[in-house]
Structures are given as C-alpha cells and as structure tokens.
Structure 1
Amino acid sequence: MTAILVDTLTKRFGDFTAVDGISFEIPEGEIFGLLGPNGAGKTTAISMLSTLLEPTSGRALLNGIDIIKDQDGVRKEIGIVFQDQSLDEELTAWENMDFHGRLYRIPKAIREEQIDEMLRLVELEDRKDSLVKTYSGGMRRRLEIARGLLHEPSILFLDEPTLGLDPQTRNHLWEYIQSLNRRKGITIILTTHYMDEADRLCDRVAIIDRGRIVAMDTPGNLKSQVGEDVVSITSPDAARIADRIRAPWILGAEQYDGQVIIRLRSAEDHLLELLSLIGGDGHTIASISIRKPTLEDVFLHYTGREMRHEEAGATDRMRMMMPRRS
C-alpha cells in the first residue's frame, strides 16, 4: 500500500520556485531519503508534506489523506523530529513527553503507558525524571524521536536527525531508526547531508536540486549508474585534464577543487593507459587513487559542488506539530 503519494507538487515564493513539480510514491514501511544541497528545496518539500506550508499547485496524499483538504487528519498520521532542538530544557524527559501527549489529547492512562514504552524503546527510562538540560546531544535526539512517536504516527519525518553528533552516537541512532522501522513498520522520510547515513538507512533516495528531483532509486542502483570505478587525480592541471581526456572506456570526467574525478569500468585494466594519456599531454599528477563509487559521487555527479543559498523559509521552523482545536 502507498503511504505517501506526491503528484507535481509545487511551491513558489513570488517569482522564486522553491519546489518545481516533484512527483514520487513511497510504499508503507520504506525508509526514503531526500537529499540535496542547500537551497535545493528539500525543506520546503517536507514543510508542505507536514502541512507547515500550503502548496502553490499539485497534490499530496499521506495514507490517502489530502494535505490541503484535511490538514488535521494528516497531522494525526505523522510525527516530526526537527533539525533544531524543540525540547523544553527546564522540564524532565517525562514532562516533555506528557506535554506532547496532552496536545494530542491522548487519554491519561494510555498516555502514561505509551510514555513509559517510548522511553524504554530509546533506553531513557532510567533518566525520565532528569531535566533535559542535563542530557547529552545524543540523549536529546533519542528523546525527540521518542516524543515524535508518542501518538503512534504511521509516518515519521526525520530532518537531519544526527547533525552535529559524534560518530559513535550517530551509529547508535542509526540502529534505533532501523529498529523502529523493523519493529513498528513506520514509513520514514529522512533528510540528511551525511551520504553514509543515507546509504546505510535508506531503501531508496531522491536527489533534489533547484526544486526538481534529478535522480531517484536505491543507493546501490544509483552508484552503479555513476560507473563501476572512480579514479581521483589531484593535479594543478585538473581543469584541462577533465576537458580533454577522452577514451572509449571513460564514462565521464569532472573537475572539483583541483581534482579530476574519472568514471570508468575496470580501472585496473586501464590504469597504465590512463596515465599515458595524461602524461602524454604534459600534465602533472600530484596523486592518484582508485575506489568504488559512493553515494557522495552520485550526489556530486547530479548536483555539482558549488555552494548554494539557503532555501526560502528554511530557517522558519515551527517548534512542534499539533492538531487544531475543533
């Protein structure tokens, strides 16, 4: 069954088009990654799907519920963990959870049972009475995930969930996210700038750039589309090498910050020939390496490496989502 259906969803701010007719479907239980450089439109897309912004045109259904016609219905189906912290540091973990449950009008007996269950799930039951200001960064992220799940949403939005955390804590949170998906069958949309995170967690990823989806597939398929091997050459002549190097077995060559990234199959078989081509033109090579393509190679292939401006409205985040009063 389809959990999320997006059909030509568009958002304009005056003359600026932040999201330009994107379409995709996400089945129930999938972890779906939304990747893109700053200003690409991913935050605006998430804001529309979570009813923070109203689309200019197009439509989207979450579990069959229209994001424009029934916003309260959508909000009951979703949980959100924002990139920016939205916990009250002067309250305990249990009090933060209880406040959230009251906003969703969860009856007291059910609310208290679910709070205990969620705190056990993220291994914070022993610290439930501690003030949040005494928590580490990783503990706070775990608490925010628990809070986002308190009202039992079927769809969870995770916006940069491990941003700024150390590698050990990031790895721990990855395990929690995978466990949530396996145990509860929750559909997850994840935005991240960590390519290894998307590669490990996501069943599929969509790369969005300048408001449009430029690639979408499983991480493995996307990496295979870039090429079997990647040869990275550092050279003061990188731009000229990328412009001039040609051979039937070279799939592509791009230049980034003094490096030439060459995509080819069976790099070991063609390495001497490649060096001969570059050296024959009198170019200097400072270093050379061979590796298999990564999701970062895919990302750079489709989006380039230039810096982008922040997308419109990206810093205007709401603290938390709640159903409207009738």
Structure 2
Amino acid sequence: MVPMTAIEVRGLRKSYGAHAAVAGIDLSVATGEVFALLGPNGAGKTTTVEILEGHRRRNGGSVRVLGADPGDAGRAWRARIGIVAQNAADSGDLTVEEAVRHLAGMYPRPRPVAEVIDLVGLAEHRRQRVGTLSGGQRRRVDVALGIVGRPELVFLDEPTTGFDPAARRQFWQLIRTLSAEGATILLTTHYLDEAEALADRLVVVARGTVVAEGTPATLGGRATAEATVTWRDATGTRTERTADPDGLLRRLAAAADADLSTLTVTRPTLEDTYLALIGENR
C-alpha cells in the first residue's frame, strides 16, 4: 500500500555553532501533494530540504521520508527521489542527450531519454553541449536530471531561476504533469505567483521556524481578511475596508449616486500576506 504521508517531520533542529539554522520545524506532506516551502534567504529552507534529501545531518527531531530516515537510507531509497538543487553539478562537456542518458542508466526504471528532454523543452538542443547552453537552458537540464529516474518524490529548490516567463509557464505544466502521475513535489521558490499557481499547501518559514501554514487561498487568514472596496460616486473616488464586502455592495447597489462600473473588491494578495508574516519575524 502507498503510505498516506510522504514526508513527516517533528521538531527538526540543525545548528551551526551557536546559530540555530532550523529551530524546531514540523512538516507533514501528503503523498501526491505539491507542497511549497517559502521564506526569506537564511530562513532555514535549504538546510531543511538538504536534511530531507539525506545530504545533511540534523541535530535533533525525527524525519521520515518515503517511510525511511534519510540520515541512514540506502541506495534503493535514493532511487525513489529526484533532486533539483539550487547549485546542480555541471555536465558541461556532455551533450544534453548524453547527460540525461548517463544518469538514466543509474535508475531501475527511468523515463525514456527523449521523453524527458522533450518534457523540459530541450528537444532542439539535445545534441548541444551543456556548457554552451544559456543559464535558463542549463537549469532545464538540471530539471531533466532530477526527473529522469521517474521519482516518487521530487525536491525542487528554486527550479525556475533564470527562466523567462514563457519557460516558467512551460515548467509549471511539467509540475502539473508529474503531480497528475502521482509524484509528490516539495518546492522552494521566491516566486509567489509560482507557489500560488502550483501548491496544494504551503508553509512560510522564518528564523528556522514555521510561522504559517495553509493553502494559498487561506494562508495567514487571507480568505477572511478585510476587503478593500473602491468605487466612485458624486463626491469622487471612495475607498472602504470591510469584513463584510457583500453587505457594502448591497448598500452601494441601492445608492442612487454610486457608479458600480468603477467598483473593485480586493483582498490581500499572497505577496501581501507573505511579507506581513516574515516582517513579524525579522
């Protein structure tokens, strides 16, 4: 049976001398979920991800990833995960096709090489040496190497850095494809529109602790936050903040001088909420 939880973390701690990079993080990521980990630089995101990947030792807490402790998991466990790190290893002397084929040979049931190259949008560059590609194209190679093993769990650490807008949207579709196939995705990103478009749930980390958790729509009370209503009437442009925008709209509809064609209703964006959350913890 497939476990219901792909990642389970309780009280995770990691210190470097007197500095606590991770100070008691709890996380739970369901199997098949797209989960985003947000936070400013230095918040502890990368350290946390490296511990989950088995690349860094923790000082305290319990961690289970795909049912195993990544601190002592073996080769079979590693074949079940895919990693796209911030600073991936360079394969500059190999062609795109050679690099992907080489890594594919290390997995028991890899995706077809041509399929992977096409998924990341590099079909036209498959015979080009990786070292001659642009920064964004090389980042796509990193993504190809991270998914070629058909992983059950994919770690994506700032995967779209260097992508142009069109490439980012193409990458988003790739994430949706992987998710539809049943893969669990853990994503770190500074692009809040990316987190909002892709994540089923997300957490915000600051100073090594979780300060908020929820869906993109509900994080930090977004769904129930006061709305800002703006409209024009005989006196000019009017703005009102209210917890009951429906009631205000009904009153405006009954008002003789309210120009409803100019009316807008907005709630805090994910960016507004995120900045408020990390601002409280700086």
TM-score by structure 2 length?
0.80
Q: Which residue identity lines up with residue 32 of structure 1 in the other structure?
A: F
Aligned to 2:39: 36
Structure 2, unaligned stretches of length 5 or more?
Answer: 230-239, 250-263
- For the structure 1 residues 80 and 17, does the alpha-carbon distance in structure 2 shift closer, same or farther, using more than 3 Å as the test? same
Residue 115 of structure 2 is aligned with which of 114, 117, 120?
A: 117
- Equivalent residues in 2 for 1:1-326, closer than 5 Å: 1-102=4-105, 104=106, 106=107, 114-182=112-180, 184-222=181-219, 224=222, 227-229=225-227, 264-266=242-244, 269=248, 291-304=266-279
Residue 245 of structure 1: aligned partner: none
Question: Percent identical across equivalent pairs?
Answer: 40
Letter in 1 for 2:270: L
Distance 1:166 1:157 in 2: 21
Could you tell me how far 1:96 is from its partner in structure 2? 0.9
Q: Answer yes or no: is the 8 Å Cα contact 1:226–1:293 preserved in 2.
A: no
Structure 1 distance, partners of 2:201, 2:209, is 17
Match of 1:257 in 2: none
Cα distance change on mapping 1:150 and 1:76 into 2, 3 Å: same
Is the CA contact (8 Å cut-off) linking 1:158 and 1:191 kept in structure 2? Answer: yes
Shifted more, 130-139 versus 151-160: the winner is 130-139
Contact 2:139 2:162 survives alignment (8 Å): no
Summarize the Cα distance change of 1:181–1:141 in structure 2 as closer, same or farther, 3 Å threshold.
farther
Q: State the structure with bigger RCO (CA 8 A, min sep 6), 1 or 2.
A: 1
- Give the deviation of 1:178 after TM superposition: 1.5
SS at match of 1:89: coil
Amino acid of the residue matched to residue 276 of structure 2? H
Distance 1:196 1:95 in 2: 34
Amino acid at match of 2:207: R
> How far did residue 291 of structure 1 move?
3.3
Deviation at 1:266, TM superposition (A): 4.8
The structural deviation recorded for 1:83 is 1.9
**How many residues matched?**
254
Distance in 2 (CA, whole Å) between partners of 1:174 and 1:196 is 11
When residues 59 and 305 of structure 1 are mapped into structure 2, their CA distance, relative to the original with a 3 A threshold, is: closer
Deviates more, 1:150-159 or 1:84-93: 84-93
1:189 is paired with a residue whose SS is strand
Say whether the 8 Å CA contact 1:59–1:67 is kept in structure 2: no
SS in 2 for 1:168: helix
The residue identity in structure 1 corresponding to 2:62 is: R
The alpha carbon displacement at 1:202 in A equals 0.4
Using the alignment, how far apart are the partners of 1:216 and 1:187 within structure 2?
Answer: 18
Residues 36 and 186 in structure 2, CA contact (< 8 A), matched pair in contact too: yes
* Residues 158 and 263 of structure 1: CA distance in aligned 2, closer, same or farther (over 3 Å): farther
Q: Aligned residue for 2:259?
A: none
Counterpart Cα distance in 1 of 2:9 and 2:76: 17
1:209 and 1:15, CA in 2 relative to 1: closer, same or farther beyond 3 A?
Answer: same
SS in 2 for 1:220: coil
Query: In the aligned structure 2, how far is the partner of 1:292 from the partner of 1:128?
Result: 45
Structure 1 residue aligned with 2:233: none
The C-alpha deviation readout for 1:215-259, integer Å capped at 9, x for no partner, is 11101111525713259xxxxxxxxxxxxxxxxxxxxxxxxxxxx
Separation in 1, partners of 2:128, 2:187: 29
Amino acid at match of 2:147: L
Q: Distance in 1 between matches of 2:32 and 2:278?
A: 28
CA shift in 2, pair 1:305/1:5, >3 Å: closer
